[in-house]
């Protein structure tokens, strides 16, 4: 389920990296494009790109969190529209695919958007159970409560994706997708 997962944060969030340096010096359009891969809200990405250069990764993450808290409902809807539902490995049993598909359909019918969950704290074999448990638990939420939980999950996803992007020595954050 790589769509809603990223590698755990490195021990030193403030440590400089080659990817981070390239992000700070990239064109505004390239920086925005890289950030849109972390969170699909254009306003969020533009805000972060406009405030470069960041002194360190910790400052970028703090700015990302702040921008995430400031997202308007339309920004959150735009970010959610760019997300894919977390799925199962193709080798999972058909019954598991069916159960997850039904759970996603029930969630999307109730709340009108894709289910998002940050799985960074879990090992890959635990992901299917966490997704199913998360959907089942969150189906009981009132829409306003779920909107808050969803926004928090989007912030966590964006944070993990930023860390992955900035610390990945193979991927250039200045390259547009």
Q: Does pLDDT of 170 surpass 60? A: no
* Mean pLDDT within 138-156: 97
Stronger pLDDT, 79 or 5, i.e. the higher one = 79
Contact (CB, 8 A) for 6 and 159: no
In order of 108, 142, 151, the CA distances from 147 in angstroms are: 13, 9, 6
Q: Give the relative orientation of helices 18-25 and 57-69 as an angle to the nearest 10 degrees.
A: 60
* Mean pLDDT within 166-173: 66
3 state SS of 167: helix
Q: pLDDT at position 93, please? A: 83
Which helix H or strand E contains 138, and what residues bound it?
Answer: helix 127-138
Total Cβ atoms within 10 A of residue 150: 22
Q: Does pLDDT of 128 surpass 90? A: no
Q: What is the pLDDT of residues 83-101, one digit of tens each?
A: 988 777 788 788 888 989 9
Q: What is the pLDDT of residues 4-48, one digit of tens each?
A: 544 444 334 444 567 889 999 999 999 999 999 999 999 999 999
Cβ within 8 Å of residue 130, ≥6 positions away: 117, 119, 122
């Amino acid at each position: 389920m790589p769509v809603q997962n990223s590698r755990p944060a490195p021990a030193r969030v403030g440590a400089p990296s080659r990817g981070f340096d390239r992000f700070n010096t990239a064109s505004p359009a390239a920086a925005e494009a890289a950030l849109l891969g972390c969170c699909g809200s254009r306003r969020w990405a533009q805000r972060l790109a406009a405030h470069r250069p960041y002194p360190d990764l910790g400052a970028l993450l703090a700015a990302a969190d702040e921008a995430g808290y400031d997202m308007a409902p339309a920004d959150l809807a735009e970010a959610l529209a760019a997300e894919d539902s977390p799925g199962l490995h193709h080798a999972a049993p058909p019954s598991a695919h069916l159960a997850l598909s039904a759970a996603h359909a029930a969630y999307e019918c109730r709340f009108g958007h894709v289910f998002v969950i940050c799985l960074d704290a879990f090992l890959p074999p635990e992901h299917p159970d966490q997704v199913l448990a998360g959907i089942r638990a969150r189906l009981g939420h009132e829409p306003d409560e779920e909107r808050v939980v969803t926004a928090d999950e989007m912030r966590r996803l964006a944070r993990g994706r930023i860390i992955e992007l900035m610390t990945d020595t193979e991927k250039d954050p200045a390259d547009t997708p």
